[in-house]
A and B are shown apart, each in its own frame.
Chain A
Amino acid sequence: MLTIFSDWTGGDQSNFGNVVAEFTKETGIDVELSGSTDFLPVLQTRIASGNVPMVAIVPRPGVIADFVSQKLLQPLDSLGVDVAGNFSSAMASLGAVDGKNYGLVVKANSKSVIYYRPQAISGAAPAPATWDAFKALLTQTATGSVKPLVVTAKDSWTLTDWFENVYLRTAGPDKYQQLFTGKLPFTDPSVKTALQTMLSIIGNSAYVTGGLQVAQSTGYNDGLARVFGLKPDADFIMEGGFTTSVVTTSVNTKVVPGKDMSFFPFPDINSAYKGSLELGADFAVAFKSNDATKKFMAFLAQPSTAKLFAAGGVITPNKNADTSALPNVLIQKESQLITTATTVVFDGSDQMPGGVGNDWASALQGIYASPNSIDSILSQFQASAKSSGFGS
């Protein structure tokens, strides 16, 4: 019996169920699969009570690092998983801690996409190449009193994604990596510049649906409903590639991806960093090193498993995988975006240790509410991150 815990629910979970069923068919090993989006509380309690799942699917490298520091995880090479044969070194390194591989990427999503409602746009499909072109597009679609861009600042993690995309395109991938691994302080001037650039759009009530007050109390799902719900009144929303499946399974099942919902890549800001992409991912980690676990982890790394995932709309960045099975045009387009990006970085706040990532998301809410306090909020955050052992 193999026990698996995942952070997936809904469509992702049932799709994973199909993958797991295939594993049971091939190996005869029974699997107990459980899941919760609030994965951390459940995992923490299971670890504390000694009822650790053998395999877990987790979305944050920062959490993997926390687990490794507690000596809870098994390195992939000790399990006999062929990582190098199936994943590019960039993808493989995403789940590594101190050079050792612990997390196997099973699902990747672009976090640099801006979704829109095609019905709201007259003429050709929009593809603003620059920050100014994006502003022009927003001005152009802002008809009437309700402005077109939905910002979902009540869910602070969406602000981290905005910031990361802007920082990547204003300061570049090297500084990005330094910032989110604690080698560059958040008081660095580049952070403030990026924040101000970010706020020039999401902090501007000429673009933001309902104004900033409304944005501050709109959550991710509510925001999606304003753009893709039964009675939409806004046109644009920025978030990760998983949004397509959230919209079609839990916001409005009538939405047809490609027809009622489309996206363009996050516009470039500094031309020196053209074609940059921010990636989010879910990783499989092993808490045990028994036979069932070894077989399952090896199974996850196979190209045939990636094809199974693809049929359910999950992009597994296995370099040998057949992606033609991806079910809709948006996911196909996203998969192409991931494979052709010239610069790929991983979601910054997810790289930070759990607590620091949460604090950063919270600090961004503070900055969004009072942009005049950028300096004091940044220095306060830097001090608290340092006291948590992050950075120097």
Chain B
Amino acid sequence: MSSGSRRRRLRAIKSAAGGVLFVAPAVILLGAMLVYPIISTIRLSLDTGIFLRLQKFVGLANYRRLLLHDPSFLHYDWIGLSGSLVNNGIWLALYVGGCLGFGLMIAVLADRVGYEGFVKSVVFAPLSIAATATGLVWLLVYAPNPRISVINALLGTVGIKPIGFLGNAHIVNYAVIAAAVWSGTGLAVVVLSAAIKSIPSEISEAARIDGASGFKEFRMVILPMISGPVTVISVTLAITAIKVFDIVFVMTRGGPNGASSVIGYVFYDQVFQRGRGGYGASAAVIMLILVIPIMIFSIRRLRAEGSRR
């Protein structure tokens, strides 16, 4: 063997060792904080897991019960669908739709007024409030006592009796989602407003010269130009809607009679209130399964954008 090839091989080993050294921290961190917990949660979900300890392997029994025999998680009959899983669906539609819709509206409108900074800071402010605090504030907003609740006090001035927003199974989900939209819209506004700002003014001007009205300009020019940021925001909001827990816990504890429960709350209730680690873990795994397609979509999208550049 010539000394040259030995040196080359040595250099290859050295650079490989360097590479390993560079990825090691990330691999170790991800392994310990992400991969191991996921695997152990999946393992736990196949066990009774009483008091969070592996006790008796039960195969897929937890999943079967959760999806087929637990009406509080998923229930369907001729009246329709209900249960925690369905509530997450409502969250997905209304929370994402609400934040995005209001966000887009405010971003576009604020772009055209002089006091844009003020509007944006007001809308952004709730984002800096923790979800639990948001929940507490909105508990007061929705309080059935008109001396406490802003909404019920206003309704009272026009002669409407106090409404028990959080005690009514038909209203409660929408009431909680409205509070979450209030706090989540700010992010959408800031991101979308930055995206609108980055649209070259020649394009908008050209559209206007071609006779595009305000709405047409929005639909044909602005919307296509900001589709990237809209996707990013949608993905973030969608994942938040699937993992939502804090605001539900603070405002309703899943009540009344489970009407506002979500997957995250089922997980908490089963594991920490009832000691059923396995059953709760299976709810967590279902949450993970629901998030995966959204992640795949967003990774694909990122890759596509990367290759376009």
A residues with a Cβ closer than 8 A to B are: 40-41, 44-45, 47-48, 66, 70, 72, 153-154, 156, 210-211, 213-218, 222, 225-226, 231, 233, 354-355, 358, 362-363, 365-366, 369, 380, 387
Report the separation of the CA atoms of residues A226 and B167 in the bound assembly, to the nearest whole angstrom.
Answer: 17
B99 within 8 A of A: no
Q: For A153, give the chain B residue with the smallest CB separation.
A: B167
Residue contact B144 to A210, C-beta cutoff 8 Å: yes
Q: Which residues between 142 and 170 of chain B lie within 8 Å of chain A, taking CB atoms? A: 142-145, 147-148, 161-169
From B161, B167, B268, name the one whose CB has the most chain A CB atoms within 10 angstroms. Answer: B167
> B168 to A48, Cβ gap below 8 A?
no
User: Are the CB atoms of B276 and A153 closer together than 8 Å?
Assistant: no
A217 with B168: CB separation less than 8 A: yes
The complex places the Cα of A10 from the Cα of B216 at a distance, in Å, of: 61
CB–CB A41/B51 < 8 A: no
List 9 interface pairs A-B (beta carbons < 8 Å), by A numbering. A41-B268, A47-B52, A153-B256, A214-B164, A216-B168, A217-B143, A217-B144, A218-B144, A387-B69
Distance of A218 Cα from B146 Cα, bound (Å): 12
Q: Cβ of A218 and Cβ of B255 under 8 Å apart?
A: no
Contacts of B71 in A (CB 8 A): 380
Do A214 and B255 contact each other (CB < 8 Å), given the known contacts A44-B271, A48-B52, A355-B276?
A: no
- 3 nearest A-B residue pairs (beta carbon): A216-B167, A217-B167, A217-B164
Measured CB to CB, the nearest residue on chain A to B256 is: A365
Verify B272–A218 contact, CB threshold 8 A.
no
Q: How far is the CB of B160 from chain A (nearest CB, A)?
A: 12
Instruction: Say yes or no: B273 contacts A41, CB within 8 Å.
Output: yes
Given contacts A213-B164, A216-B167, A355-B276, 11 further A-B contacts (CB under 8 A): A40-B272, A40-B275, A44-B272, A66-B275, A154-B252, A210-B164, A214-B145, A214-B162, A218-B164, A231-B147, A366-B256
Known: A215-B164, A218-B145, A387-B69. A70 touches B257 (CB 8 A): no
Interface string of B76-116 (1 = CB under 8 A from A): 00000000000000000000000000000000000000000
Q: Which of A40, A45, A365 has the most CB of B within 10 A?
A: A365
CB within 8 Å for A358 and B143 given contacts A213-B163, A365-B256: no
Alpha-carbon separation in the docked complex, A199 to B106 (Å): 48
Interface centre among A41, A213, A354 (most CB of B within 10 A): A213
B256 touches A369 (CB 8 A): yes
Instruction: Pick from B162, B167, B255, B275: contact of A44, CB below 8 A.
Output: B275
Q: Please indicate the chain A residues that have their CB under 8 angstroms from the CB of B287 in the complex.
A: none
Interface status of B9 (Cβ within 8 A of chain A): no
B300 at the interface (CB under 8 A from A): no
Are A362 and B168 also in contact (CB < 8 A) when A44-B51, A355-B273 are?
A: no
| B274 CB-CB contact with A under 8 Å | yes
Report which of A213, A354, A366, A387 forms a contact with B273, defined as CB distance below 8 A.
A354
Q: Are the CB atoms of B256 and A216 closer together than 8 Å?
A: yes
**Complex CA–CA separation, A72 to B50 (angstroms):** 12
In the complex, whether B14 has a CB less than 8 A from a CB of chain A is no
Contacts of B162 in A (CB 8 A): 210, 213-214
User: With an 8 A cutoff between CB atoms, is B53 at the interface?
Assistant: yes
Q: Across the interface, name the chain B residue whose C-beta is closest to A367.
A: B257
Contact A217 B161 (CB under 8 A): no
* Chain B proximity of A206: nearest CB distance (Å): 15
A188 vs B156: C-alpha distance when bound (angstroms): 43
B258 at the interface (CB under 8 A from A): yes
User: Which of chain B's residues have a CB closer than 8 A to the CB of A222?
Assistant: 143-145, 148
Inside 8 A of A231's CB, which chain B residues have their CB? 147
Name the A residues within 8 Å of B165 (CB-CB): 217
Determine if B269 is an interface residue (Cβ-Cβ < 8 Å): yes
Chain B residues with Cβ under 8 A from A225's Cβ?
Answer: 145
Do residues A45 and B256 form an inter-chain contact, with CB atoms below 8 A? no
Checking B51, B69, B255 against A47 with a beta-carbon cut-off of 8 angstroms, the contacting residue is: B51
Residue in A closest to B175 when the chains form the complex, CB atoms: A217
Contact A215 to B167, CB < 8 A, known contacts A40-B273, A47-B51, A66-B275: yes
Across the interface, A48 reaches (CB within 8 A) one of B51, B148, B169, B270, namely B51
Q: What residues of chain A lie closer than 8 Å to B275, measured between beta carbons? A: 40, 44, 66, 354-355
Whether A365 touches B147, Cβ cut-off 8 Å, given contacts A45-B52, A213-B162, A387-B69, is no
Q: How many Å from the CB of B248 to the closest CB on chain A? A: 14
- Are A154 and B166 closer than 8 Å at their CB atoms? yes
Q: Name the A residues within 8 Å of B272 (CB-CB).
A: 40-41, 44-45
Q: Are B167 and A213 in contact (CB under 8 A)?
A: yes
Distance to closest chain B CB from A71 (angstroms): 11
Measured CA separation A380–B71 after assembly (Å):
10
A213 to B271, CA, bound (A): 32
Is the Cβ of B255 less than 8 Å from the Cβ of A369?
Answer: no
Compute how far the CA of A36 lies from the CA of B270 in the bound complex, rounded to whole angstroms.
Answer: 19
Query: CB distance A362 to B258 under 8 Å?
Result: yes
Name the distance in Å between A208's Cβ and chain B's nearest Cβ: 11
